[in-house]
Structure 1
Protein backbone atom coordinates (compact mmCIF):
# COMPACT_ATOMS: atom_id res chain seq x y z
CA UNK A 1 0.00 0.00 0.00
CA UNK A 2 1.35 3.43 -0.83
CA UNK A 3 0.77 6.70 0.95
CA UNK A 4 -0.19 10.08 -0.47
CA UNK A 5 2.71 12.41 -1.04
CA UNK A 6 3.96 13.88 2.24
CA UNK A 7 1.99 11.49 4.47
CA UNK A 8 2.27 8.05 5.96
CA UNK A 9 -0.16 5.19 6.30
CA UNK A 10 -0.35 5.81 10.07
CA UNK A 11 -1.29 9.45 9.53
CA UNK A 12 -4.05 8.62 7.06
CA UNK A 13 -5.57 6.12 9.51
CA UNK A 14 -5.73 8.73 12.26
CA UNK A 15 -8.21 11.17 10.72
CA UNK A 16 -10.90 10.81 8.06
CA UNK A 17 -10.61 12.79 4.82
CA UNK A 18 -13.50 15.01 5.91
CA UNK A 19 -15.10 15.19 9.32
CA UNK A 20 -18.82 14.49 9.57
CA UNK A 21 -20.71 15.16 12.80
CA UNK A 22 -22.12 11.90 14.18
CA UNK A 23 -25.16 13.75 15.57
CA UNK A 24 -26.29 16.28 12.96
CA UNK A 25 -24.33 15.31 9.84
CA UNK A 26 -22.53 18.64 9.43
CA UNK A 27 -19.46 18.25 7.20
CA UNK A 28 -16.32 20.19 8.12
CA UNK A 29 -14.85 21.98 5.13
CA UNK A 30 -11.47 22.40 6.83
CA UNK A 31 -9.70 21.04 9.94
CA UNK A 32 -11.81 21.82 13.01
CA UNK A 33 -9.79 21.71 16.24
CA UNK A 34 -12.88 22.62 18.28
CA UNK A 35 -14.79 19.47 17.37
CA UNK A 36 -15.10 16.67 19.95
CA UNK A 37 -13.74 13.20 19.26
CA UNK A 38 -15.41 10.26 20.99
CA UNK A 39 -14.64 6.54 20.83
CA UNK A 40 -17.78 4.51 21.42
CA UNK A 41 -17.77 0.73 21.08
CA UNK A 42 -14.36 0.98 19.41
CA UNK A 43 -15.59 3.41 16.73
CA UNK A 44 -14.19 6.94 16.52
CA UNK A 45 -16.93 9.56 16.13
CA UNK A 46 -16.64 13.31 15.69
CA UNK A 47 -19.13 15.81 17.12
CA UNK A 48 -19.33 19.39 15.81
CA UNK A 49 -18.88 22.32 18.17
CA UNK A 50 -22.60 23.20 18.06
CA UNK A 51 -23.74 19.68 19.02
CA UNK A 52 -20.98 19.48 21.65
CA UNK A 53 -22.24 22.67 23.31
CA UNK A 54 -25.89 21.57 23.11
CA UNK A 55 -25.12 18.17 24.63
CA UNK A 56 -22.46 19.15 27.17
CA UNK A 57 -24.40 17.83 30.18
CA UNK A 58 -24.89 14.43 28.55
CA UNK A 59 -21.20 14.27 27.62
CA UNK A 60 -20.12 15.16 31.17
CA UNK A 61 -22.61 12.69 32.64
CA UNK A 62 -20.87 9.79 30.86
CA UNK A 63 -17.45 10.58 32.36
CA UNK A 64 -16.21 8.47 35.24
CA UNK A 65 -16.08 10.25 38.58
CA UNK A 66 -12.27 9.89 38.45
CA UNK A 67 -12.26 12.65 35.82
CA UNK A 68 -13.66 15.09 38.38
Structure 2
Protein backbone atom coordinates (compact mmCIF):
# COMPACT_ATOMS: atom_id res chain seq x y z
CA UNK A 1 0.00 0.00 0.00
CA UNK A 2 1.36 3.46 -0.88
CA UNK A 3 1.51 6.24 1.64
CA UNK A 4 -0.90 9.11 0.98
CA UNK A 5 0.73 12.46 0.41
CA UNK A 6 -0.72 15.89 1.00
CA UNK A 7 -1.36 18.47 -1.69
CA UNK A 8 1.62 19.59 -3.75
CA UNK A 9 3.39 22.71 -2.48
CA UNK A 10 2.16 25.95 -4.00
CA UNK A 11 4.64 27.47 -6.50
CA UNK A 12 3.95 30.14 -9.12
CA UNK A 13 4.07 28.53 -12.56
CA UNK A 14 5.08 31.85 -14.12
CA UNK A 15 7.85 33.26 -11.91
CA UNK A 16 8.62 30.35 -9.55
CA UNK A 17 7.75 32.27 -6.38
CA UNK A 18 6.80 30.32 -3.27
CA UNK A 19 4.62 31.86 -0.57
CA UNK A 20 5.71 32.44 3.00
CA UNK A 21 2.26 31.38 4.20
CA UNK A 22 0.71 28.72 1.99
CA UNK A 23 -2.73 29.09 3.60
CA UNK A 24 -2.86 32.78 2.58
CA UNK A 25 -1.56 31.95 -0.91
CA UNK A 26 -4.41 29.51 -1.45
CA UNK A 27 -6.77 32.46 -0.89
CA UNK A 28 -4.94 35.15 -2.90
CA UNK A 29 -3.23 33.24 -5.74
CA UNK A 30 -4.95 31.96 -8.90
CA UNK A 31 -5.32 28.24 -9.54
CA UNK A 32 -5.83 26.78 -12.99
CA UNK A 33 -5.54 23.56 -14.90
CA UNK A 34 -3.24 23.17 -17.89
CA UNK A 35 -2.76 19.88 -19.73
CA UNK A 36 -4.46 18.04 -16.88
CA UNK A 37 -2.27 19.40 -14.10
CA UNK A 38 -2.96 21.99 -11.43
CA UNK A 39 -0.98 25.23 -11.81
CA UNK A 40 -0.77 28.18 -9.43
CA UNK A 41 -0.07 31.82 -10.34
CA UNK A 42 1.01 34.31 -7.67
CA UNK A 43 -1.01 37.46 -7.08
CA UNK A 44 1.59 39.69 -8.79
CA UNK A 45 1.76 37.56 -11.96
CA UNK A 46 -2.03 37.24 -11.92
CA UNK A 47 -2.35 41.04 -11.99
CA UNK A 48 0.32 41.39 -14.68
CA UNK A 49 -1.33 38.82 -16.98
CA UNK A 50 -4.99 39.42 -16.11
CA UNK A 51 -6.17 39.99 -19.68
CA UNK A 52 -4.46 36.84 -20.90
CA UNK A 53 -5.96 34.82 -18.05
CA UNK A 54 -9.45 36.20 -18.70
CA UNK A 55 -9.01 35.50 -22.42
CA UNK A 56 -8.12 31.90 -21.47
CA UNK A 57 -4.85 32.10 -23.37
CA UNK A 58 -2.40 29.31 -22.66
CA UNK A 59 0.34 30.49 -20.30
CA UNK A 60 2.89 29.82 -23.06
CA UNK A 61 1.52 32.96 -24.79
CA UNK A 62 2.15 35.25 -21.79
Query: TM-score, normalized by length of structure 2?
Result: 0.73
Q: Structure 1: which 5+ runs fail to align? A: 4-8, 64-68
Bigger radius of gyration among the two: 1
Query: What is the CA deviation profile of residues 17-58 of structure 1, one whole-angstrom value per residue up to 9, with x for unaligned ones?
Result: x31100001011212110000101101000000000000000
Quote the Cα distance in structure 1 between the aligned partners of 2:13 and 2:3: 29
Of 35, 42, 48 in structure 2, the residue corresponding to residue 41 of structure 1 is 35
RCO higher in 1 or 2 (8 Å CA, sep ≥ 6)? 2
Q: Which runs of 5+ in 2 are unaligned?
A: 58-62
Q: Which stretches of structure 1, 4 residues or longer, exceed 3 Å deviation after superposition?
A: none
Q: What RMSD over aligned residues (CA atoms) do the two structures have, in Å?
A: 1.8
Residue 6 (structure 1) aligns with? none
Distance 1:44 1:55 in 2: 18
